Amino acid sequence: MSETNEVEVWVVDRVEDEIAVLVEEDGDIIVQVAAALLGDLAVEGAILRVPLGSVGEPMWTDATRDIEAEEDRLQQGVRRLDELKRRDPGGDIVL
């Protein structure tokens, strides 16, 4: 099947029993994919850029990991946590 130039972004939520559970970037769609299809990319928290085939199906074996996006999201999370800690009068926010 030929590829389009379109790419979807998915996040690996978890890997259980050799099945990777992925969430679409906007959080609306969840899919299960054999972890073997993703290979080394089947890592919890990995952000994947997945090209679409000619009829719009994700081409999981051609996915790539977006390390830069992962680092950006981690920093966003750290900033949010810092903000919550500053606003917490009891100082009991713990992750």
- Domain segments of the chain as ranges: 3-87
In CATH terms, the fold of domain 3-87 is OB fold (Dihydrolipoamide Acetyltransferase, E2P) (2.40.50)
Name the 3-class secondary structure at 79: helix
14 and 41 in contact (C-beta within 8 Å)?
no
Report pLDDT digits (tens) over 59-86: 999 999 999 999 999 999 999 988 888 8
Report pLDDT digits (tens) over 12-54: 999 999 999 999 988 888 999 999 999 999 999 999 999 999 9
Residue 87 has pLDDT above 90, yes or no: no
Per-position DSSP letters for 42-63, written without gaps between them:
--TT-EEEEEEETTS-B-GGG-
Q: Which token pair is 85?
A: 């800690």
Q: For the full predicted model, state whether its pTM sits above 0.85.
A: no
Residue 82 phi, psi (nearest 5): -60, -40
